[in-house]
């Protein structure tokens, strides 16, 4: 640190016990504090930068992003939550937008890109109002009022769709809307059917509840997306512990164990001295006897298959094979819990506790093999609890499978949302346009300065249809102006952007549906985070510490050995 870098107001001259001179610099002298409108503008520009990154991935014609991790792992996706989650965002306000996207993903499961695009548009609209001298709190209040009007308009234009386990056509249309923007859109009919069947298999329609614990999504490289299937049971990435064990078990009675096949040993440190061949043989006989006792306990309950959370050594494996008791080892905790749920079995921690009524039951357990590789997976089908299902995804490479899993997650969440609330609004920007018109009309009735904020909110809602039109290769402003005028003149809130060029702007005719609760959550979350950002007018990057944190030799000082202390 040179002398011309030190602010004299923040430095004190001092000497140590040997008389050597030092300059003590307080660390807050180097801090840059942003406050007032300057801080708010900085926040808005940061949010706009994040929004611009993912705006181009919105809609059925949206483009994908390639993300490279520090380890070199590659992710190709257009899922907003995944893009933002894997970006290394440093700015504090940009991190808030990442949290909003994650919140939308956790609560709803879809609409993660739209919520960030809307939040960025609201902040951009607020910037022009700030330049006109309107106080940030008045803008935030206006946004709150406008959000209430927009949500009421969504409730007004929403349609109820009917469905049952026999008639799933409306659920399929909504699932296809979600999958239309994904990399799996080439097989969106198959994936939509899988998503709907998976949800209805585990759904309790009387209680309008879906237990996600019973849906597992697994994948294996190989084949094509069209080879993806829905298994009414559980698929685990394991095989039989011995190659000579049977690969198929019918009418399986499954012992689900969390105790290892090994002789008992003290939990404290112990040492065993073997001084002769006889003692070694005695120890081997003891181990073999214990293994045989364990196997007998299992077979006495009537079990014909063992699934164990832990491993077992070669001796135990050999004895299991000799006693015609197939076994699977090293099955993870979540998988073993799912197997217990699917087969109506109990997880047993000790061999002594195993009884016949604790066994899981399945009609068929079989090994799957893939191509010319030695990879195998175990399929447990015809389970006692028929509600447990596994979606088994195939694809040409790991990136395709990962993106297909994310797409399926979104589609399953969309169908789940319709089971919970069967009201839908129409996609293609139709919901945002009709909400924008309603907010604009309401703003004219407001006598206070909040009317400017409400008009800004209405303009921000147009950002979603504008982005859809731009990503589809259309003229954004011309397309939006045309659709908006037709919504007003025809009184039809279903008109949106024809992204796929079908010559039809009625989104109901195109079967482009969005769950109402998803769209409402987008509006509410975006408004809340924008209100929070507008209320921040000061950024303080941590408090100064009082300990010595740095020692630098200042070579430009006239005294040899002088230094600088930074507090």
Catalytic residues: 79, 112-113, 410
3-state secondary structure of 220: strand
Residue 224 CA, chain-centre distance (Å), reads 24
With beta carbons less than 8 A apart as the criterion, state whether 351 and 361 touch: no
In angstroms, rounded to a whole number, what is the distance separating the alpha carbons of residues 102 and 553?
47
DSSP 544: P
In angstroms, rounded to a whole number, what is the distance separating the alpha carbons of residues 487 and 492?
5
With beta carbons less than 8 A apart as the criterion, state whether 39 and 539 touch: yes
Q: Is the dihedral of CA 97, 103, 109, 114 positive or negative?
A: negative
In angstroms, rounded to a whole number, what is the distance separating the alpha carbons of residues 30 and 123?
30
Q: Is the dihedral of CA 148, 154, 160, 163 positive or negative?
A: negative
Q: What angle do CA 192, 195, 200 make, to 5 degrees?
A: 125
Copy the structure tokens of residue 271. 């040492």
In angstroms, rounded to a whole number, what is the distance separating the alpha carbons of residues 102 and 85?
8
Closest CA to 330 of 394, 418, 381, 260: 260
With beta carbons less than 8 A apart as the criterion, state whether 469 and 479 touch: yes
Residue 432 CA, chain-centre distance (Å), reads 25
**Which residues are paired to 366 by β-bridges?**
248, 379
Instruction: Please give the C-alpha separations between residue 363 and each of 148, 234, 256, 382, 385, in angstroms, as whole numbers.
Output: 54, 12, 16, 5, 11
**Residues 6 or more apart in contact with residue 170 via CB below 8 angstroms:** 161, 162, 163, 418, 513
Beta sheet of 229-231, edge-to-edge order: 215-221, 389-395, 229-231
């Amino acid at each position: 640190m040179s002398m011309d870098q030190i602010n004299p107001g923040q430095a004190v001259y001092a000497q140590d016990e040997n008389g050597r001179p030092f300059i003590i610099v307080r660390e807050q002298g180097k801090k840059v504090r942003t406050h007032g409108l300057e801080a708010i503008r900085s926040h808005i520009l940061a949010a706009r930068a994040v929004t611009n990154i993912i705006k181009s991935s919105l809609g059925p014609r949206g483009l994908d992003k390639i993300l490279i991790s520090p380890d070199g792992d590659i992710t190709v996706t257009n899922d907003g939550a995944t893009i933002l989650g894997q970006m290394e965002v440093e700015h504090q306000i940009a991190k808030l937008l990442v949290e909003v996207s994650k919140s939308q993903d956790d609560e709803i499961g879809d609409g993660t890109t739209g919520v960030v695009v809307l939040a960025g548009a609201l902040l951009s609209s607020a910037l022009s109002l700030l330049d006109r001298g309107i106080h940030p709190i008045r803008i935030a209040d206006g946004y709150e009022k406008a959000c209430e009007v927009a949500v009421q308009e969504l409730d007004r234009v929403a349609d109820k769709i009917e469905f049952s386990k026999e008639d799933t056509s409306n659920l399929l249309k909504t699932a296809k809307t979600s999958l239309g923007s994904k990399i799996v859109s080439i097989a969106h009919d198959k994936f939509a059917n899988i998503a709907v069947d998976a949800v209805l298999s585990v759904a309790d329609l009387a209680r309008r509840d879906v237990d996600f614990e019973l849906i597992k999504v697994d994948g294996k490289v190989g084949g094509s997306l069209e080879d993806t299937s829905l298994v009414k049971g559980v698929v685990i990435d394991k095989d039989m512990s011995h190659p000579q064990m049977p690969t198929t078990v019918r009418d399986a009675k499954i012992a689900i164990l969390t105790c290892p096949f090994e002789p008992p040993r003290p939990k404290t440190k112990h040492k065993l001295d073997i001084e002769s061949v006889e003692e070694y043989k005695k120890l081997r006989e003891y181990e073999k006897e214990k293994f045989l006792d364990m196997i007998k306990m299992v077979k006495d309950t009537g079990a014909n298959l063992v699934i164990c959370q832990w491993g077992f050594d070669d001796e135990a494996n050999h004895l299991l094979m000799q006693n015609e008791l197939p076994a699977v080892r090293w099955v993870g905790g979540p998988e073993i819990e799912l197997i217990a749920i699917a087969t109506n079995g109990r997880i047993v921690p000790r061999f002594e506790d195993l009884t016949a009524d604790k066994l899981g039951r399945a009609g068929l357990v079989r090994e799957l093999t893939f191509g010319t590789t030695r990879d195998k997976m175990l399929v447990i089908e015809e389970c006692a609890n028929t509600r447990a299902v596994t979606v088994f995804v195939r694809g040409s490479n790991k990136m395709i499978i990962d993106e297909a899993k994310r797409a399926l997650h979104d589609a399953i969440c969309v169908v789940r949302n319709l089971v919970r609330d069967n009201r839908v609004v129409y996609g293609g920007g139709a919901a945002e346009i009709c909400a924008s018109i309603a907010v604009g009309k309401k703003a004219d009735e407001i006598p206070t300065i909040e009317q400017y904020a409400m008009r800004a909110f209405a303009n921000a809602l147009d950002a979603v249809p504008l982005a859809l039109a731009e990503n589809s290769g259309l003229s954004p402003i011309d397309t939006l102006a045309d659709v908006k005028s037709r919504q007003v003149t025809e009184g039809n809130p279903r008109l949106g952007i024809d992204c796929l060029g079908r010559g039809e702007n009625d989104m109901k005719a195109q079967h482009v549906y969005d769950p109402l609760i998803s769209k409402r959550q987008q509006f509410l979350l975006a408004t809340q985070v924008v209100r929070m950002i507008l209320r921040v007018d000061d950024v303080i990057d941590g408090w100064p510490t009082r300990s010595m944190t740095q020692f630098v030799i200042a070579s430009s000082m006239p005294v040899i050995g002088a230094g600088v202390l930074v507090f």
